[in-house]
């Protein structure tokens, strides 16, 4: 049985279909990328799974629980990082994590969580004082307070510089290695290819492909696809990183 | 319960770590009181003189009334003496039964002990008016003797009027603006959304927010009254617990309005005009800075029912008259009705997203 089973869900806003009969199965363990053009319905799909939006039709079963019927139970099982959402001002990272623990009636160890995302030295800082990459890492730490079985990351690396993005990849891979299942959205194809065990492609509100990235590539190639241009041995990002270094820039 | 408590503690921390919030809710009202303490409206007024006329003579009283520097009130011995004790009279003149300008009676005057200068001026004026009348009317040069006795009065100054008004106003401002802006920002920055993805019950969060605001409100009341007594010679007569009760009731009214506004607005740009439309008329017409007795009759019809009018009047009655909760039953009733209305509106209009 898969950990997450999305069965042909739909959602309309003022008559406009944002998600139309989208289906997705996510097995236990590993990382699934949900990719697709802007407006394809990725965020809406995630929000329906996360109980933040009602589901017009279809169903979502998470770890055997129906999301529409028992949203409170589902909330306890998942950890979410929302796109462009922030945290309270004037609470330190430690205080925020303790408070989020309380929301799940859990005593958490903030330092351990911060260590997980390499923010231990910022324990007494406010979120406003963090860099973009640090904010994203903190928001992953906050999503981990309830030790979720499934972690949702909505565009975790958008707006980060290449170094910060690669650093965040490292954090995400480590969380996967601890046995967590992760669903993330991204606009970066190399990110999906580098990080993810499976890639689900969404377009016009529906999932049109769902397979390991290499399999998707192989299928395309076996259908006779050829690139106009021979792949170069390096690309601009490689140049950028080799000139500016791989180490993280944060002050 | 535990969660509500933790959330309240957290939002209290956030509040007191925010310098702007402290400036707006506590320092600014104090600063206003400080500024107005330099203004003495007493100086512009005529000296209030009470007359207890037990005789049949009317000439003396009308002669006194013709003096521009005096504002003459007529009353019984009892009412005028009370008015003197309340600080509403500088001098009270008691004319005996047998008084007439040529008589040799004793005219007793009672002087407000805390206003000796105005009192002396008033005494001089009384003597002079009496002399002139006497010279006009008789040639024997006998005239009534004027004696002066000082009475200890409770003299209210403008600060006594102003401070409870400003206190009521700042409860309104922090309720309406604090909540409306606060929640719109929480919504806009996706903070509420993030909280909704946790098992937290929305009601817990609202209760914690309200609890925090009410604690801040009580701090406002205690600080304002304390500073008023210590530095501005506030004549505080009432029971501080009664003042807190009225303050909290008023707080509920304005918090409700704040929540309703935050539901109606999508951004700070929309909140500001709405909040101003609601609070500005009350700030000016609910008797915060000036007595509403100067308003024309038609204005009373509306302003009598403003929630800030009830709150300011109630707080002022407790502060300067030492009123009990029973004495201000009308204000409490008005505030209760408004509290019900505003909580209803808040529940109807409030949106999480």
d(CA B24, CA B173): 9
Contact with chain B for residue A38, Cβ under 8 A: no
- Chains A, B: CB pairs < 8 Å: 62
Of the partner residues B14, B194, B196, the one whose CB lies closest to the CB of residue A89: B14
- State pLDDT tens for residues B59-77: 888 888 888 778 889 999 8
> Best mutation site among A71, A88, A126 for testing chain B: the one with the most B CBs within 10 Å?
A88
The per-type count for chain A, helices as H runs and strands as E runs, is: 9, 10
> A225: part of which helix (H) or strand (E)?
none
Provide the pLDDT for residue B139. Answer: 58
Provide the pLDDT for residue B260. Answer: 93
pLDDT band of B338, cuts 50, 70, 90: very high
Contact with chain B for residue A86, Cβ under 8 A: yes
d(CA B51, CA B61): 8
- Which residue on chain A is closest to B5 by alpha carbon? A102
Contact with chain B for residue A100, Cβ under 8 A: yes
Contact call for B197 and A51, based on CB within 8 A? yes
Of the partner residues A82, A99, A105, the one whose CB lies closest to the CB of residue B10: A99
| Residue A25 reports pLDDT greater than 90 | yes
CB B309 within 8 A of CB B303: yes
- What ipTM score was computed for the predicted complex, to two decimals? 0.89
Q: Return the DSSP state at A92.
A: B
Chain B contacts of A88, Cβ < 8 Å? 10, 14, 191
d(CA B221, CA B240): 9
- State pLDDT tens for residues A31-64: 999 999 998 999 999 999 999 999 999 999 999 9
More confident residue, B169 or B131: B169
Contact call for B199 and A51, based on CB within 8 A? no
Q: What is the mean pLDDT of residues A120-149?
A: 94
Mean pLDDT score across all residues of chain B: 87
pTM of the model: 0.79
d(CA B44, CA B22): 36
| Residue B49 reports pLDDT greater than 80 | yes
Q: Which of A7-16, A112-121, B260-269, B311-320 has the lowest mean pLDDT?
A: B260-269
Provide the pLDDT for residue B32. Answer: 86
Of the partner residues A52, A75, A88, the one whose CB lies closest to the CB of residue B193: A52
pLDDT band of B140, cuts 50, 70, 90: low
| Residue B337 reports pLDDT greater than 60 | yes
pLDDT band of B102, cuts 50, 70, 90: confident
Q: Which of A47-61, A224-238, B17-31, B227-241 has the lowest mean pLDDT?
A: A224-238
Contact with chain B for residue A85, Cβ under 8 A: yes
- Which residue on chain B is closest to A97 by alpha carbon? B10
Chain B contacts of A52, Cβ < 8 Å? 193, 196-197
SS3 label, residue B52: strand
pLDDT band of B320, cuts 50, 70, 90: confident
- Which residue on chain B is closest to A46 by alpha carbon? B197
Of all residues in chain B, the percent with pLDDT exceeding 70 is 95
| Residue A251 reports pLDDT greater than 60 | no
Q: What is the mean pLDDT of residues A114-124?
A: 93
Provide the pLDDT for residue B45. Answer: 64
| Residue B107 reports pLDDT greater than 90 | no
| Residue A241 reports pLDDT greater than 80 | yes
| Residue B90 reports pLDDT greater than 90 | no
Provide the pLDDT for residue B87. Answer: 83
Provide the pLDDT for residue B40. Answer: 60
> Best mutation site among B12, B195, B199 for testing chain A: the one with the most A CBs within 10 Å?
B199
d(CA B342, CA B353): 20
Chain B contacts of A91, Cβ < 8 Å? 10, 13-14
Q: In angstroms, what separates the C-alpha of A244 from chain B's closest C-alpha?
A: 33
Please give the C-alpha separations between residue B345 and each of A36, A212, B204, B260, B279, in angstroms, as whole numbers: 42, 53, 19, 6, 16
Provide the pLDDT for residue B41. Answer: 59
- State pLDDT tens for residues B163-200: 999 999 999 999 999 999 999 999 888 899 999 999 99
Q: What is the mean pLDDT of residues B201-220?
A: 92
pLDDT band of B135, cuts 50, 70, 90: confident
Provide the pLDDT for residue B258. Answer: 95
Q: In angstroms, what separates the C-alpha of A209 from chain B's closest C-alpha?
A: 28
| Residue B155 reports pLDDT greater than 80 | no
More confident residue, B301 or A180: A180
Contact call for A87 and B191, based on CB within 8 A? yes
Provide the pLDDT for residue A5. Answer: 95
Provide the pLDDT for residue A206. Answer: 94
Chain A contacts of B191, Cβ < 8 Å? 85-88
Pairing of β A30-35 and β A198-203: parallel
Provide the pLDDT for residue B300. Answer: 84
Of the partner residues B2, B6, B199, the one whose CB lies closest to the CB of residue A99: B6
Q: What is the mean pLDDT of residues B248-263?
A: 95
pLDDT band of A120, cuts 50, 70, 90: very high
Q: In angstroms, what separates the C-alpha of A50 from chain B's closest C-alpha?
A: 7
Chain A contacts of B182, Cβ < 8 Å? none
d(CA B131, CA B63): 11
Contact call for A80 and B200, based on CB within 8 A? no
**Chain Cα centroid distance, residue A124:** 26
SS3 label, residue B139: coil
Contact with chain B for residue A147, Cβ under 8 A: no
Provide the pLDDT for residue B60. Answer: 86
Contact call for A89 and B190, based on CB within 8 A? no
Of the partner residues A75, A84, A90, the one whose CB lies closest to the CB of residue B13: A90
Provide the pLDDT for residue B151. Answer: 75
pLDDT band of A86, cuts 50, 70, 90: confident
Contact call for B10 and A103, based on CB within 8 A? no
| Residue B125 reports pLDDT greater than 90 | no
Of the partner residues A52, A72, A102, the one whose CB lies closest to the CB of residue B6: A102
């Amino acid at each position: 049985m898969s950990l997450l089973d999305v069965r042909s869900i739909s959602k309309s806003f003022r008559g406009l279909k944002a998600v139309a009969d989208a289906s997705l199965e996510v097995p236990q363990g590993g990382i699934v990328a949900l990719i697709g053009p802007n407006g394809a319905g990725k965020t809406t799909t995630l929000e329906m799974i996360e109980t933040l939006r009602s589901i017009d039709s279809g169903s979502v079963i998470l770890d055997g629980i129906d999301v529409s019927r028992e949203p409170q139970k589902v909330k306890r099982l998942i950890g979410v990082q929302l796109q462009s959402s922030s945290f309270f001002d004037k609470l330190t990272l430690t205080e925020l994590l303790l408070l989020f623990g309380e929301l799940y009636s859990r005593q958490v160890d903030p330092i351990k969580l911060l260590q997980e995302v390499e923010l231990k030295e910022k324990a007494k800082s406010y979120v406003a004082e963090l860099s973009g990459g640090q904010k994203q890492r903190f928001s992953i730490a906050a999503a981990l307070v309830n030790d979720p079985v499934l972690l949702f990351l909505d565009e975790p690396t958008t707006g980060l510089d290449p170094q910060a993005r690669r650093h965040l990849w490292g954090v995400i891979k480590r969380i996967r290695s601890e046995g967590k299942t992760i669903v993330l959205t991204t606009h970066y194809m190399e990110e999906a290819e580098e990080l993810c065990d499976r890639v689900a492609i969404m377009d016009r509100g529906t999932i049109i492909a769902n397979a390991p990235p290499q399999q998707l590539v192989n299928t395309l190639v076996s259908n006779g696809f050829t690139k106009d241009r021979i792949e170069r041995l390096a690309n601009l990002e490689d140049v950028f990183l080799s000139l500016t270094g791989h180490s993280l820039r944060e002050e | 319960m535990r969660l509500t408590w933790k959330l309240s503690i957290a939002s209290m921390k956030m509040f007191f770590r925010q310098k702007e919030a402290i400036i707006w809710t506590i320092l600014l009202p104090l600063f206003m009181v400080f500024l107005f303490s330099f203004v003495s409206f007493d100086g512009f007024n005529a000296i209030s003189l009470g007359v207890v006329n037990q005789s049949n003579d009317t000439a003396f009283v009308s002669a006194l009334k013709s003096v521009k520097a005096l504002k003459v009130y007529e009353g019984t011995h009892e009412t005028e003496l009370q008015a003197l004790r309340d600080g509403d009279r500088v001098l009270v003149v008691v004319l005996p039964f047998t008084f007439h300008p040529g008589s040799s009676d004793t005219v007793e005057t009672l002087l407000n002990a805390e206003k000796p200068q105005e009192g002396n001026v008033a005494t001089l004026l009384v003597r002079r008016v009496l002399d002139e009348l006497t010279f006009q009317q008789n040639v024997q040069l006998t005239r009534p003797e004027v004696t002066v006795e000082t009475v200890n009065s409770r003299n209210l100054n403008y600060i006594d009027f102003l401070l409870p008004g400003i206190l009521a106003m700042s409860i309104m401002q922090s309720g309406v603006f604090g909540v409306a802006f606060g929640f719109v920002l929480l919504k806009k920055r996706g903070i509420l959304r993030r909280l909704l993805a946790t098992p937290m019950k929305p009601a817990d969060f609202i209760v914690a927010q309200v609890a925090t605001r009410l604690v801040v409100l009580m701090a406002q009341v205690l600080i304002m009254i304390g500073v008023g007594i210590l530095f501005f010679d506030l004549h505080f007569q009432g029971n501080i617990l009664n003042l807190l009760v009225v303050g909290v009731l008023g707080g509920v009214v304005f918090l409700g309005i704040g929540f309703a506004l935050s539901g109606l607005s999508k951004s700070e740009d929309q909140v500001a005009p709405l909040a101003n439309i609601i609070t500005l008329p009350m700030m000016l017409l609910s008797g915060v800075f000036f007595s509403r007795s100067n308003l024309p009759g038609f204005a009373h019809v509306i302003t009598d029912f403003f929630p800030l009018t009830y709150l300011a009047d109630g707080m002022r009655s407790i502060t300067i008259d030492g009123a009990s909760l029973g004495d201000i039953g009308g204000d409490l009733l008005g505030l209760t009705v408004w509290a019900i209305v505003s909580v209803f509106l808040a529940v109807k209009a409030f949106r999480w997203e």
